[in-house]
Amino acid sequence: MPAEDQLLTSAQYEKHEAFWPGWLFPSFEKSMQVSNGSQPFLLKIHYEVCWRDVDMMEIGIFSIMVIVTFLLASWFSIILYRKRVEQLTAHETLFNMANFDALTGLPNKNLLMDRVEQAIRHARRSNLRVALLYMDLDRFKAVNDNHGHKVGDLLLKRVVERIAVIVRSHDTLARLHGDEFVVLMSEVKHRRDVERLAGKIKALFNTSFTVYEESMMLDVSIGIALYPDDGMSGPVLLNLSDKRMYEDKRTGQELPAGGVDEVEEPI
């Protein structure tokens, strides 16, 4: 038997037809010229992936199963991810509906009272004050009656934009309902700081608001309540500031834009 036949016989490998794509079962062929010393001859070397005693069909089916499993896992992962995103979006939507005003984007009463209680706890530890400034817009009802709710809504947004400029970044401007707003001032050292802010807010209404190229004048009434001077809880402070706002509306007493100047010691 020729030597090359003996070599092939000793390999004991089964040869299969290459009906699978090359990327799955790679192979290559290389030719080279060699010499035995006297006469050169061409030697061809062929390489391919072979498996001993393995059915190529089984390997192919297994490979397809792996690919299908990967695709199904990816598909389920995408579905789970989308459902999670939908849940988070729904949760965020519900949170915003429960805690923020739809028109102005300001915190509503629910979120305001939560922040009031947090501010009171901090003030109790730090020996500071907390203040609520309850605001009601005078003559706003006439705007709604004469120009409609669309103009009234835009006017409320203009008012919010103007007040937000002078409210400290760590304080809260909230809308309760209609034309009533509240400013929560935390970490207050002196009552005069609160009265000064109230005076500045009133001064903002000395200039008209423009909606659809029409100028409109409003006034604002403000009631003030402080922790711990006037009450020890959020609801008590809110009710008292509401009553004082109506007193301000009846009397028409205005604070100067710069606030009061008397000296007051911190608590």
Q: Can you give the pLDDT at residue 137?
A: 96
First CA to last CA distance, the chain: 112
Residue by residue, pLDDT tens for the chain (267 residues) are 554 444 444 344 444 444 445 544 455 555 555 555 566 656 566 655 555 555 556 666 777 888 888 888 888 889 889 888 888 888 888 887 889 999 999 999 999 999 999 999 999 999 999 999 999 999 999 999 899 999 999 999 999 999 999 999 999 999 999 999 999 999 999 999 999 999 999 999 999 999 998 999 999 999 999 999 999 999 999 999 999 999 999 987 544 433 333 334 444
Rounded Cα gap, residues 45 and 31, in angstroms: 6
Q: Can you give the pLDDT at residue 54?
A: 53
**Residue of 101, 179, 193, 248 with catalytic role:** 179
Question: Dihedral of the CA atoms 202, 208, 210, 213 (nearest 10)?
Answer: 180
Q: Can you give the pLDDT at residue 37?
A: 59
Q: Can you give the pLDDT at residue 18?
A: 44
Does 179 qualify as catalytic in the annotation? Answer: yes
Report the candidate in 60, 55, 49 with the shortest Cα–Cα distance to residue 26: 49
**What is the pTM (predicted TM-score) of this model?**
0.66
